[in-house]
Amino acid sequence: MNPYYPHLFSPIRVGNIWLKNRIGMSAMDTCYFSMNGTLTPKAVAHYLERAKGGAGLIVTEISPIDWPHGKQSRREPCFNNPNVTPEWAELIQQVHSFGAKIIAQIGHAGFISFPEFNDGEQPVTAWADESGSNAVSGEANPARTITVEEIHYLLDKVRDCARNIESCGFDGIEFHAAHDYLLNEFLSPLTNRRTDEYGGSTENRARFLLECIQVAKEELAPGKIISLKFASCEEVEGGMTLEEGGRIAKMCEEAGANLIDCSVGQGPDGNATEAEWLPDGRRIPYATAIKPYVDKAVIGVVGKLRDPQMCEDSIAEGKTDMVFLARQMLCDPYWAKKAETGHADEIRKCLSCREGCFAQFRPKSGSIRCVINPYTGFEDKATEHNPGKAYEPKNVLVVGGGIAGMQAAIIAKKRGHNVSLVEKTDKLGGQMQLAGLPPYKQAILDAKDWFIAELARVGVVPELGVTITKEEILKRKPDVALLAVGSVPSRPPVPGIEFAEDGWDVLRDTVHYPENKEIVIIGGGTVGCEIAHTLIEKGNHISIIEMLPGLSLKQNMVHRQHNQQILDAANTDIYLENTVTEVSKNEIKCRDKEGNIHTIACDIVICASGQKPKDTSFATELRAAGIDTYTLGDATDTGDFRTATRSAMDVVMGI
């Protein structure tokens, strides 16, 4: 029995398969696969790192039943072709070597698939009107109603996939029936208004899913895992209720499903992947509600499960049988092993920011990353526990104790270098200290504390309150100087800008936030919007002036929309495509794109118009003196946590 989390680390039987613990890695789209759907070294390393990290069950990312049709991203795995089996068989053997089991998820993205990833074909859905929309998709993402003949064709494809999955040696299969995917679209009364045998009653709406399960049962060896990523309910009016979800779960168990991972179906943006403002473990009650409907099927739950104690308590109290971690496994692949060995305090917890994962591959056709774990997506080259030893240990001086400097110092120390870290203030963390102050941002402060603790764990003792000059660096004579000095606020060169308070200063002075004032914020980027959120809570009325055609355009869509909702609820005045022309003590003037001047009366003007890198021009002199010198993070180009940690890794891995 594990002395720290005895229930979380107790074995459990699913079908005839025994899992060593109650921890599963949930399926996540990574875009690590080749364009023809085959495994790559990057994908193999990704899954192996989570197996090494202690997960009991790994669920591979979704493979479209009718690959390449039904894809939601550009590079998804293919299982309907028998040619894929050899590489998967080798990976499965490796996963088994670490005591983990592995199952393959298949499904179809339905109306949320993208034509550009599907040979230009229009998406299909359970039901759509003549405009190509339904109660959820709207006309912005037109799809057509799938025919009965096409459903039967997809069932044949399910058979092909299941047969190949069995041939590979997988421990089972999972069907994606949540998050607006096609099987969820059939289950939901919102998106299924069919009048044939696949629509109408609960039994008819569940028919396609039940037939998929039956086909898989026929093709898999007896006792293999047949799992569902399951829409236990829908968080929107008119959607599936928990009671109906329970009845469908029972039908699925009777058809052959032996593992049901409870998630959600249709709902507001951010509900599928648990945005930063949503509480931890909020889906646990859904799993608890589904459990009484099944007899032997194992019930799991997924969604913002970061704390091992919460997971332990949920299992101990009978609320769920298993927990499935998704983005938390990107952030820390060794979550399970750290908890199992009594080092839960060393877990790097997910920020739920969506910036490193969704924001990198959905709109940009890139691959999934993590803002505070730079190894994610690069495990084929280096990992946190094996970054590789440097050929020659060097004396490395890191200037700046923000996230880039701390990450650089940690990796350099692990690679065997002698590391000195110098920070001019009396605290480490840099801009993380400010970024963690607005509403819903506590996780950033927790991440800051993790980096500080990790420095201590690897043996880096920072020098705080030390302002280091070019002359001092030359005097110390390091082999390598890493300048992670960050950025400074940038102000527009307009008359009266000295009357504007700096946004960083406003956030920093938490004791004296203004209350019940008229406030104008120059700049509607992420920082400007989060300052607005902070001050709205103090009863202030906000106006935002932004040069671009939208607010917070560099932020991921879900959090950007949430920003807008908060601003709209507070009746914020927003001036888009406006340029500030003059600032005075009690008013500000701006010009719109038509040339009209707007005068806004106010009590306070706050400038949040961006940042610029600090001056590091002296780096040239350091290089001339024989010191290998690099700039990191915002000192190179202003970005975000992801670009900061990534630049630190890229540079340090090369020295």
pLDDT at residue 363 in the model: 52
pLDDT at residue 408 in the model: 97
Give one DSSP letter per residue of 465-503, joined into a string: S----HHHHHHH--SEEEE---EEE-----TTGGGSEEH
Q: Which residue has the higher pLDDT, 131 or 514?
A: 514
pLDDT at residue 84 in the model: 79
Please state the separation of Cα 156 from the chain's center in Å.
34
Query: pLDDT tens across 302-333, in order?
Result: 999 999 999 999 999 999 999 999 999 999 99
587-591 and 518-522 beta bridge pairing: unpaired
Query: pLDDT tens across 607-643, in order?
Result: 999 889 988 898 999 999 999 999 999 888 878 888 8
Q: Please give the model's pTM, rounded to 2 decimal places.
A: 0.94
Residue 362 has pLDDT above 60, yes or no: no
As a whole number, mean pLDDT of residues 415-443 equals 95
Please state the separation of Cα 248 from the chain's center in Å.
29
Please state the separation of Cα 636 from the chain's center in Å.
25
**Close Cβ partners of 313 (under 8 Å, ≥ 6 residues apart):** none
State the average pLDDT for the chain: 93
Residue with tokens 């202690």: 54
Q: Model confidence at 595, in pLDDT bands (50, 70, 90)? A: very high
Contact indicator for 84, 36 with CB cutoff of 8 Å: no
Q: Half-sphere exposure (CA, 13 Å, Cβ side) for 570? A: 26
What is the Cα–Cα distance from 322 to 226, expressed in whole angstroms? Answer: 15
Give one DSSP letter per residue of 122-184, joined into a string: PPEES---TTS--TTT-TTS--EEPPHHHHHHHHHHHHHHHHHHHHHT-SEEEEEE-TT-HHH
pLDDT at residue 216 in the model: 98
Q: Which residues pair with 589 in a beta bridge?
A: 582, 599
What is the Cα–Cα distance from 326 to 61, expressed in whole angstroms? Answer: 11
Query: pLDDT tens across 2-39, in order?
Result: 999 999 999 999 999 999 999 999 999 999 999 999 99
What is the Cα–Cα distance from 429 to 448, expressed in whole angstroms? Answer: 6
What is the Cα–Cα distance from 458 to 25, expressed in whole angstroms? Answer: 28
As a whole number, mean pLDDT of residues 340-363 equals 86
As a whole number, mean pLDDT of residues 203-218 equals 98
Query: pLDDT tens across 374-394, in order?
Result: 999 999 999 999 999 999 999
Query: pLDDT tens across 546-594, in order?
Result: 999 999 888 888 888 888 999 999 999 999 999 999 999 899 999 999 9
Closest by CA position to 543, among listed 572, 503, 502, 571: 572
3-state secondary structure of 448: helix
Query: pLDDT tens across 105-116, in order?
Result: 999 999 888 888
57-64 and 144-145 beta bridge pairing: unpaired
Closest by CA position to 255, among listed 201, 312, 217: 217
pLDDT at residue 138 in the model: 60
Cα Rg, the chain, nearest whole Å = 26
As a whole number, mean pLDDT of residues 276-289 equals 94
Query: pLDDT tens across 41-94, in order?
Result: 999 999 999 999 999 999 999 999 999 899 888 899 999 988 877 899 999 999
Residue with tokens 């306070």: 604
Enzyme catalytic residues: 181
For the chain, domains (ranges, CATH) are 12-361 (3.20.20.70), 395-489+614-652 (3.40.50.720), 497-609 (3.50.50.60)
* b/e map 132-161, b = 16+ CB within 10 Å: bbbbbbeeebbbbbbeeeebeebeebbbbb
What is the Cα–Cα distance from 466 to 327, expressed in whole angstroms? Answer: 37
Q: Model confidence at 268, in pLDDT bands (50, 70, 90)? A: low
Q: CB burial class (10 A; 0-12, 13-18, 19+) of residue 191?
A: buried
Residue 510 has pLDDT above 80, yes or no: no
